[in-house]
Amino acid sequence: MENKNQSVGIVRTEFYTIDEKIQFECGVNFGPITVAYETYGQLNETKDNAILIVHALTGDAHAAGYHSESDKKPGWWDTMIGPDKAFDTNKYYVICSNILGGCSGTTGPSSINPETNEPYGTSFPVFTIEDTVKVQKKLIDFLGVKGIYTVAGGSMGGMQAMQFVISFPSMVKSAVLIATTSRLSPQAIAFNAVGRNSIISDPNWNNGNYYNKENKPDRGLSNARMIGHITYLCEEAMYNKFGRRLQNKNHYDFNFDIDFQVESYLQHQGQIFVDRFDANSYLYITKAVDYFDLEEKYGSLQNAFKNSNAKYLIISFDSDWLFPSSQSKEIVNTLMQLGKDVSYCEIKSPCGHDAFLLEYDVQSKIIKSFLNEHIEGNYYE
């Protein structure tokens, strides 16, 4: 465990239930919704030093710290959240919640429908990124937050951050958008489609009604994760990590068992994923990502951001081929055309899309500079 002075320490996941129904973009009024969340640091007297952290596709509310003294693995962005870190809990009140439709405490397909006392399964309504932001806003209001100093996230988290700024422009002072896009490319949609098809084609999926069954669609979910994981890396990362090295052998077996280290790695990633994630949640969340398209939704990117008063920091990575730098630059150019305050940095990294989780040293310096100098210096003007 890291030095306790560098960590937020032992944390606890909390739960808040939204009793009223929320109208989803699909037209369904849905509720109640329970939201799993964690907070780090203290809310100030004016209740406007909050930082909202929004997670990527398969993340959860546990962004920093440890759940127990024996917990060996900290939150997924622990390198970025804590005392004197990029998101400094000595200064800010940091909030992270599990996404709507998730399977780590927030209401989703695996949750019990109070009207039937059975899991929702595929009767859960299809939702969008905007719907997830509506839920996050309800949580923010419950916590008493009056102003959000910044909303920050990578990948799908960046999508949520953009939508939050657009939906609630008067509440957000700044946004940190990392390795993200204003809309998925056809190629990215295609990878999600193959992953979903892998789950739906699993004979144990049973039209989403597998929760009370002995066998679940683990093979399909594992394969979906393997497919997704390929997109998180890049060719350089794969060569550096695996090359064409064989797995525990010196020659080919001339059968269809695992020969290469990269095969073994992907199989391992798939196997551990099924222990912590729900197949239906994967279907719903990837569909929400596919539907995210600010240009289509608002007529143009200019229309999407025109009412925003936030300052922006946008970070991309040169080896990210899932959400390449060109997509970040499109957002940057739009904000510049609108006369918005935007800073942009492309980081050189061999880590591919996963760089937003791995390249914490350089990201921390950039983000701390943005928050402390670019934003805080004008905070009380």
Residues taking part in catalysis: 155, 320, 353
Return the sign of the alpha-carbon dihedral for residues 308, 312, 318, 321.
negative
CB atoms within 10 A of CB 114: 8
Three-state SS annotation for the chain? CCCHHHCCCECCCEEEEECCCEECCCCCEECCEEEEEEEECCCCCCCCCEEEECCCCCCCCCCCCECCCCCCCCCCCCCCEECCCCEECCCCEEEEECCCCCCCCCCCCCCEECCCCEECHHHCCCCCHHHHHHHHHHHHHHCCCCCEEEEEEECHHHHHHHHHHHHCCCCECEEEEECCCCECCHHHHHHHHHHHHHHHCCCCCHHHCCCCCCCCCHHHHHHHHHHHHHHHCCHHHHHHHCCCCECCCCCCCCCCCCCEHHHHHHHHHHHHHHCCCCHHHHHHHHHHHHHCEHHHHHCCHHHHHCCCCCEEEEEEECCCCCCCHHHHHHHHHHHHHCCCCEEEEEECCCCHHHHHHHCHHHHHHHHHHHHHHHHHHHCCC
- Cα–Cα distance for residue pair 364/79, rounded to 1 Å: 9
Q: Which two tokens stand for residue 367?
A: 């983000």
